[in-house]
A and B are shown apart, each in its own frame.
Chain A
C-alpha cells in the first residue's frame, strides 16, 4: 500500500492527496466507477434501473438482520439478504403475475420499511443513517483490495458472458433460439448487480447508489454509436465524474457521493441536449 501511496504523491502532488483518507478514497473511486460504468450499461439496456434502486433499499434490512444476529460485519448479512431479495424479485417477475415496475415497487418499499422498523426497534435508526448517503472517505485499504478483486471478477464475467447478456437484452426469444439459457443469464446478471450494490453501499449510500449506476450509461447512450463506444463512454463518464466529484467535494466541503452524482447528472443533461441538436440537424 505504501508503494501506491508514494506513487500517488509523485504523480498527483496536490493538497487534496496529502491525506491518506483522500488517497484511499481516490483508489476506491478508481475501482468503483469503472465497475459501475460497465455494469450500468446493461442495467440501462435491460431497463433495470428501478431494480438496482430496490436492491439499494434492501441493504437497510440486510444491516438490520446483521444487528439482530449480532454479526459485526454487516456486509455478510447485507449480501445474503440482497441476493435472496434479488432472486425473489426475479422469480416473482418471471411468474408474470404483475408488471415488473409494480413488483419491484412492492419489494423496494418492503425492503426499506422493514429495514427502518428493525433498525429503529433495535436501538434507534439515527446510528445507521450514515448508510443513507455513505462516506467514501472512510474506505480502508483492505476494502480497496476487495473492490479490486470484484472489479477483476466482473471484468472476467463481462468478457466471458457479455454477448449472451446482450442478445438476451435485445430479445429473450431470439437469444433462446441460439441455445442461450435465458434464466441462467438473467440470474447471473441479477447476482452481479446485487453484489456490487451491496458492497458499495457503505461508501456511496442507499439514496444515491442507483444514480451512479444509471447516469453514466444513460449519458453514454445519448452519444454511443455501437456497443463498444457505449461501454467506453460510460466508463469514461463514470471515472471522470468520480474523480472530479471527489476533488470538488474536498474543496467545497460537500459529501463526495452527492457531488459525484451531480457531475454525472450534468454530463447526462449536456449529452441529452447535444443528442437533441444532432437529431434535429
Chain B
C-alpha cells in the first residue's frame, strides 16, 4: 500500500430506492486523524450515505476501510452516534445493560460481572459522564446524557471510523462544547477518523478539518476553509448576502 493515511475510501457510491436515485457517484476519502464534515441541505442524502457505510442498505460502488498502517480492514468497527435516536423509551434497558452488552457475549439478562461494570464506569468517565448513570433506564436519560452514553458506546471497542450524525441536536449549548472537545481529543489521541454530519456551520468550521458538500453527489470537498468559500456552499446555506460564515 502507499503512504496515504486513508481510513475510508468511498468510490462511485450509488443508492437507488423504488422512488429513484437517492445518491449517485459519491466519491471521497476520510483520513486518519481528521474530522470530515459532511454538509448539505435536508434530503441531500447524508443519512442514506451513513446507512450505506453501516451496511444497512444496498448500494453499488465500493467502500474500502484501512487501518493506520494502510492495511485493508474487511470488517471495520464503526462507532455510530445517531441523530435523536428513535427507540422505545419505556424499555427496561439500563445504561449498564447497554454498555455491558457491547463488551462481551455474556447475556445481560443474567446480570453483569464486576469487571464489566468497572469497565462501563471507565467508559462513562472517558466521555465525562457520571457513574450514577449506570443504573438509569436509557429512556429516562436527558438529551445530553444520552449523547454521552452513545459516544461511550461508540468508542468501545476503539472504532476504525466514527460516524456522528447531528450528534448534538438534543444537547444544550454547554453540552455541545463538551461533546466536541471530547471528539476532538479522541481524534488527536487515537488518530481516529471521524465523519461528522451537521447542519450547524459554526460547529463545522470550529471542529472539522475537512468538509464535503453533498447534494445527492459530492459537489465540493477539501479543507474546511476552501470548502466554505465555494459558491456551492454559500448557495446551499443561503450565505450569499451575508458575506460569509461567522465563527
Contact = CB atoms under 8 A, between A and B. Distances in A.
Interface of A: 41, 45, 47, 158-160, 162-163, 166-167, 169-174, 176-179, 182, 220-221, 224-231
A90 to B, nearest CB: 16
A176 B108 contact: no
B88 A45 contact: yes
A158 B78 contact: no
Report the interface size class on chain B.
Answer: 35 or more
B77 interface: yes
Given A158-B109, A163-B102, A167-B102, 14 more contacts: A160-B107, A162-B108, A163-B106, A166-B97, A167-B98, A171-B82, A172-B56, A173-B82, A178-B102, A225-B92, A226-B135, A227-B93, A227-B94, A230-B92
A214 to B, nearest CB: 14
Given A171-B82, A221-B92, A231 B54 contact: no
A26 to B, nearest CB: 26
B91, B96, B111: most-surrounded residue (chain A CB, <10 A): B91
Nearest to B80: A177
A174 B85 contact: yes
B118 interface: no
B242 to A, nearest CB: 35
B90 A228 contact: no
Contact of B101 (A163, A224, A229): A163
A187 B18 CA distance: 24
A224 B51 CA distance: 33
B138 interface: yes
B144 interface: no
A188 to B, nearest CB: 15
Contact of A221 (B79, B90, B102, B104): B90
Contacts of A227: 92-94, 97, 108-109
B39 interface: no
